[in-house]
Structure 1
Amino acid sequence: MTAVYVGPAVASRWDVTEEDIRRALDAVLDPELDEPITDLGFVRSLNVETVSGGARVEVHLRLPTSFCSPNFAYLMASDSKDVVSALPAVTQVVVELDDHHDSDLINAGLAADAGYRGTFLHEAEDSLDELRRMFQRKAHTAAMERCLTDLLRTNTGIEETALGTIRLRDLPAGRKKEALLRRRSALGLPEGADSIVLVDHEGQPYPPDAVPMALRRARSTRISIDGNAHFCRGLLRTRYEGSGADQTARPEGAEAADHHELLPLTVKEIHP
């Protein structure tokens, strides 16, 4: 379950607003793109109604295409239901995924609280936790690369092989370092100032001769994440007219391709 911080303004009252719901949904990430679904424009609509004993919330999600991975779609929808349900004022939650080829299956599973395996049955090859862990590792790899690449650019005297000795205290303060620390925390990796930055998924550093290849693999992962995020944003804008107004720039300062020209896209299904 995705953790969500509930501030005192929400916890101390019995009502809940759309702003509260959207703030809770900020904690839900697209696992492949490592960005909040709220920033990506994946929240199509939300509605809050006062009912006996609290509030009923209905959230509708939309994705860039009807054939986005069912695993990712379920993960985002399930996390959305979890974070909204965690708000003390909320007593009923309905989360539905619109316009996806597995919408009926996913929505039925969410409504019945059937869980990932209960929803997909024999098609569920891996557990949801395994899927989440895989993408947490990719997000950490990308965050690690961003910090080290920035360090190389601002300190031209550093040899690439020496990056294996860089420690967290050597990184300049800023949102990229903060993002790296959050991702290390999610994986249970050391966050102390003396901790080596360039490590594998188990937290082990690389020997000097393996550093250049490790950095290249990390760069490839980061470019893939940034490129996919840019591409999916464009697809959503093409599929749903006006959805660009619901998208916000990535806050953690990736070299995301928002600075590049959009690829020409042809999408046959248009949903106003």
Structure 2
Amino acid sequence: MTAALTERTLRHRDVAVSAKDVRQALGAVLDPELDEPITDLGFVRSLEITGSLAGAVVTVHLRLPTSFCSPNFAYLMASDSKDVISALPGVARVVVELDDHHDSALINAGLAADAGYRGTFGQEAEHSLEELRWTFRRKAYTAAMERCLTELLRADPTLAEESVGTVRLGDLPAGRTKDALVRRRTALGLPTQPSAVVLVDHNGVPYMPDNVPMALRRARSTRISIDGNAHFCRGLLRTRYAGSGADQSARPDGAEPADHQELLPLRVKEINP
């Protein structure tokens, strides 16, 4: 436990759920845009558990880097937090509240009433949460794919960028980066066997040889955007909440490192009209 994160569990002989259990569950909740667990980003402000085996009550407060973070992202993280905690054995009631956001009152009321996304935002909810999830699952997959291929290119200077279109999962070295790609492919329903081609679109279709360099550059742009936003948001949170940096994990376990400086673009090419 860090000084920046308040974790208080009222101890009773029959309390079945611990703060550790709740934090572990919250580790499965990702910021949809940054593709990192909210626990690693420092978004969990406080955690309190009260009650007994028959009725444990878990109260969680979340904080975000700014008060104007996208309401749909904020709702998604808060709603997912409530869902993963509610699924824990022994939990009877979950209260998740978002602090210091311009839509805190609306989001918190919707969560308390189990109104759902559309019930909370009404006509402002242009798209469903599932549509939002799929959009960012695809972006996370694209970034993970690019990291693996760029890592491979850096490890072998003789490997031409144009040749990565034939690289298969079995050709990638074992490690965190590959594991992350396999998870992202699984989330999209893409094949994960060693013979599966790495550079494929969201539907699993590989690229023609002439299109490989452009596909890789577009994927690199997506990855740089995600990494840059994550770095920016971490800094904003530390500025907004003193001491919150102690709750941020720079290299989350089982995910890509937060610092990808070694995976910056290999080169910039001029494209003539």
Asked if these proteins are the same fold (TM beyond 0.5), I'd say: yes
Q: Residues of 2 paired with 1:230 and 1:209: CA distance? A: 34
Q: Report what 2:132 is aligned to.
A: 131
Would the aligned equivalents of 2:68 and 2:102 in 1 still touch at CA under 8 Å?
yes
Unaligned runs of 5+ in 1: 1-12, 260-272
Q: Residues of 2 paired with 1:202 and 1:84: CA distance? A: 32
What is the identity, as a one-letter code, of the residue corresponding to 1:220? S
Question: What is the TM-score with the length of structure 2 in the denominator?
Answer: 0.88
Would the aligned equivalents of 1:230 and 1:258 in 2 still touch at CA under 8 Å?
no
Q: Residues of 2 paired with 1:102 and 1:258: CA distance? A: 35
Specify the SS of the correspondent of 2:51: strand
1:187-221 alpha-carbon deviations (Å, 9 max, x no partner) = 00000111000011111000010000000000010
Aligned pairs, number: 247
Q: Residues of 1 paired with 2:256 and 2:54: CA distance? A: 42
Structure-to-structure mapping, 1:194-209, within 5 angstroms: 194-209=195-210
Q: Report what 1:223 is aligned to.
A: 224
Q: Report what 1:30 is aligned to.
A: 31
1:129-148 alpha-carbon deviations (Å, 9 max, x no partner) = 00000000000000000000
Q: CA RMSD in A?
A: 1.5
Q: Residues of 2 paired with 1:91 and 1:196: CA distance? A: 45
What is the identity, as a one-letter code, of the residue corresponding to 2:36? E
Question: What is the TM-score with the length of structure 1 in the denominator?
Answer: 0.88
Structure-to-structure mapping, 1:1-272, within 5 angstroms: 15-51=16-52, 53-251=54-252, 252-254=255-257, 256=259
Specify the SS of the correspondent of 1:198: coil
What is the identity, as a one-letter code, of the residue corresponding to 1:76? M
1:102-160 alpha-carbon deviations (Å, 9 max, x no partner) = 00000000000000000000000000000000000000000000000010011112111
**Identity across the alignment (%):** 73
Higher relative contact order (Cα pairs below 8 Å, separated by 6+ residues): 2
What is the identity, as a one-letter code, of the residue corresponding to 1:218? A
Alpha carbons of 1:41 and 1:105: their partners in 2 closer, same or farther (altered >3 Å)? same
- Superposition deviation, residue 52 in structure 1: 6.7
Q: Residues of 2 paired with 1:210 and 1:165: CA distance? A: 12
Specify the SS of the correspondent of 1:67: coil
- Superposition deviation, residue 51 in structure 1: 3.9
